[in-house]
Amino acid sequence: VALPDFGPKAVTHQQLLRSLDALMDHQDEVDGVVAGLLRPLIDQDLSVVFYDLTTIRSEGLSEQVGDVRQYGMAKEGLIARQFMLGVVQTAEGLPIYHEVFDGNTAETRTLLPTLSKVLERFPSVQRLVLVADRGLLSLDNLEALKAVRLTSGKPLEFIVAVPGRRYNEFIDLLAPFHEQQCITATQEVISEQAWNDLRLVIAHDPMTAAQKTQQRNERIDALTRQADQWTGKLTDQDEGVKHRGRKLSD
């Protein structure tokens, strides 16, 4: 950011923090001004927007009123104190909206409120194509997205990704495709089917599938070994053989 006649060395860290507090007290007004500055830069005929949500770890144990730092599932697969940052940007990479959510917020619940605010701030957009990744999709979201209308009355268009294995609804639909095209595939296979009045574009990558299968089999083997260990210990316990540690229950 270019600020004429501004001397960065004259500004202290504490002054910047106090400035942030002042901005938070007037967030809606500031966001409105920023949206007004961005409107001339947005393509009114075709605006493809990408929405993504990421988690940001936070240190410290203090708790504040309205604290967004909450314990939730972190990117590393662990429960951590964090907050979540949602960002909307155009296809050209121009960020047009962002919002901070509590660290334990479900990703799927952030999509529709964020989309509503974007449409409110950029009402003149004639076409909006939303692109979001699999973490933001739920089947309930799909029905809600189909009902969204722009100010012009046109429907929202969207492209969302989801692992086909996540939903039982896809099992019967994808079974023939898997048997006919995927089992013997040596390179990526792409197909398309109709599903719930939507276009379902299906991609199968044999290398990724093999990796997932190996990971799944390794987890199953580990669980089987653990189960065998427990059942053996339980049988010994019933027969009066003592082991170290707490007794197992059925």
Q: What is the pLDDT of residue 206?
A: 92
User: Domain 25-59+67-161: which CATH class?
Assistant: alpha beta
In degrees rounded to 5, what are phi and psi of residue 170? -90, -10
Give the mean pLDDT of 35-43. Answer: 82
Predicted pLDDT of residue 82: 94
Over residues 20-38, mean pLDDT: 86
Average pLDDT, the chain: 84
Q: Are strands 79-90 and 47-57 parallel, antiparallel or unpaired?
A: antiparallel
Over pLDDT 90: what percentage of the chain? 16
Mean pLDDT of 31-55: 81
Number of helices (H) and strands (E) in the chain: give both, helices first. Answer: 6, 8
Average pLDDT rounded to a whole number, residues 38-50: 75
| pLDDT at 70 (0 to 100) | 92
Instruction: Report how far residue 152's alpha carbon sits from residue 149's, in angstroms, rounded to the nearest whole number.
Output: 8
Each residue of 60-117: pLDDT tens digit? Answer: 888 888 899 999 988 777 899 999 998 888 888 888 888 899 999 887 788 888 888 8
Higher model confidence: residue 178 or residue 126? 178
